[in-house]
Every structure is written in C-alpha cells, then in structure tokens.
Amino acid sequence: MSSSITNCCHFYVERARTTNRRTATWKSPRAAVIPCFHLPMRSNEVKNRTFAEDIKKLRLITAIKTPYLPDGRFDLEAYDALVNLQIENGVEGVIVGGTTGEGQLMSWDEHIMLIGHTINCFGGSIKVIGNTGSNSTREAIHATEQGFAVGMHAALHINPYYGKTSIEGLISHFDSVLPMGPTIIYNVPSRTGQDIPPHVIQTLAKSPNLAGVKECVGNDRVEQYTSNGLVVWSGNDDECHDSRWHHGATGVISVTSNLVPGLMRELMFGGNNPVLNSKLMPLVEWLFHEPNPIALNTALAQLGVVRPVFRLPYVPLTKAKREEFVKIVEKIGRENFIGERDVQVLDDNDFFLVGRY
C-alpha cells in the first residue's frame, strides 16, 4: 500500500474517533460524583453534635483569654495551660475568641483554627462555645458553618454593631444562624450601641436551637427573661452572684474566672454567699477599671501564666494599677489565683506591644 493511501486511511480513522468523541454522552469523572461527608462547609455531618439542652445546664463559662508569643502569634502552649486550669477548677465551658479572647483582633482563619484546636484538645472535658458572631450576616453565617464543622458545641452571636440595623433586621440576622446549632445570643449595648429588646428574644426563642442569652443590661432584664422560662447567663461579673441566687440566672459567662476559677465556681454552685461576693468585688472592679480585656491581660502577665505581650490597640495598665493588683492578690490569697509564680508588678519595658502580626 502506497504511503498516500496509508495516510488517507489514518486521516479517516482519526476523524471517526473525533466524531465519536463529540457525539458521545459526556460522563463526569468518578471522583466528582463520589459523595463526600467531610466537606468543611455546609455539611450535614457535624462533629460533637450537641443540643441546646446540653448548653442550658452550664453554670460557669469562662470567656477565655488568648495569649501571644512576642511576635504576636498565638501562644498555644500557654493557652492550653489556661484551659487546663479552667477544667481542673470546675469550669464547664469556655467562650473562644470572644471580646475577652480578642476575637476582634483575629483573622477568621485564626479564629476558626483556635476553635478547632480547643475542641480537639479539650472538647471531651469542657463545652467549647465559639464566638462566630459578626455585624455582617454573611460573615456570621460563614464563620458559624466553619465553627460547627470543626466541632464547636455552640455559637455565641452578638447583634450587628456600628452599622446597626432595624428590629426586623435583627430578627433576620439571628434567624440566619440559629438553624445551624445551639446558640447563645449576647446582648451588650455598651459595646454594640444597640439593645436587643425582649420581644426580639421572645420571637427568637421559638427556635429549638436558642440555648439562652448572655445579658449585660442588668438584673431586672435577667428576671424578666427567667420568669418567662428563658435561660440567662449574667454577662456582668459584679452582678452575677445576685443574678444567680436572686433573679433566676442559670450562671455567668465570666472574665474573673480566668484568674480565680475555683472561687467563681463556689460563687455559682455554693449557694447564696454575699461574703465571698464582697471579697471578690475589689478584683472585679479592678478588672473593669479600663475596657476589658486590658486589665485581665495585665493580671495574667503579672501572675506569670502568659507572656506580657499585647496586640494593639490594647496596652497594659499603669504601674500604679499593677501595684494595686499585687495588693488585691495578697488580700484574696495567692493560692486562689491560677499559676504558681509569685505575683509581680513588672516594669513598663517588660511588655511587648505588637501592631503587625
């Protein structure tokens, strides 16, 4: 057979193959149609499935501090030690990346990583509640999906701040995240600039996923909710004793328990105890002399349990206030505070202030 005939035959064979490929029914690659139940987003499979009723039982929840290395990255070794101390002293839950944990200074990648880390290390011993709230509904949805996908037991949600919305907008915002899992709604008008009215909470309470409210308005509001069967945690350490024992609150979401978790457990579990409450008041007042978490960060550094590193815009308390803290520790008893080192005043130049991290 001549070469011209051979080439012609090859041409028609290849053309036939091309035609068959064009007319054949396309089938997706096998890997694309295999069901995957471990997608990180919008998966129906959720680690550590928890129900709102499990969260409603918690009496003492710590808004846990996030410690840093000198370059501003998370100090996970110090963080793990802090969480372990909470567990050892009877704390039942932690808020990860809340205001106290400086979630407002984290990227969402850092935020979700820390929630996942906490769950993986401690999720069997303590309830992990991730602060996945935002003033952007889109961000709140996205972060909450991720938080539940990595295993958090519940979400903490604040109302949209700065760019405030209407009452209808508030309801729509919370309705967008409540279906995902157990949720605590956080009302703190001093930070958001907008109160969440009781009738909004009553509307949202129709969802089986509403575990309760962290309420910072005061004990009159706490009793208004508890008398109607709603679960409430006091968001004010200076009011939490009376909230618990005189106004029906389930417990407290506390800053002070970072430092004295054992005493705060006694305050929430040991019955009406005005003597202990009065004993703790100087510490509580000191902690909130400046906006939280400035004093807490300073105190933990003075106790030697975290490095004296601050992510700006937070800066340590003045030396005079640090000296005051030493006296408070001595009066309450060093043995009641976490850590093993003697409390120190520290010099101003002992602190690291990090603006880029």
**Residue 57 bears catalytic tag:** no
* Strand positions, DSSP E, the chain: 60-63, 93-96, 127-131, 154-158, 183-187, 210-215, 232-234, 251-254, 309-311, 352-354
In contact, 123 and 147? CB cutoff 8 Å: no
Q: What SS3 class is residue 121?
A: helix
Among residues 65, 79, 214, 314, the one annotated as catalytic is 214
Cis peptide before 293 (omega within 30 of 0): yes
Sorted by sequence, the CB contacts under 8 Å of residue 309 that are 6+ apart come out as 67, 68, 69, 70, 72, 75, 351, 352, 354
For residue 12, indicate whether it is catalytic: no
Catalytic entry in 186, 279, 327, 357: 186
For 59, 245, 262, 273, 332, the CA distances from 269, given in Å and listed in that order, are 8, 10, 10, 10, 19
According to DSSP, the residues that pair with 309 across neighbouring strands are: 352
CA atoms within 13 A on the CB side of 200: 20
> How far apart are the C-alpha atoms of 203 and 186, rounded to whole Å?
15
CA 62/CA 166 separation, integer angstroms: 31
Catalytic residue ranges: 186, 214
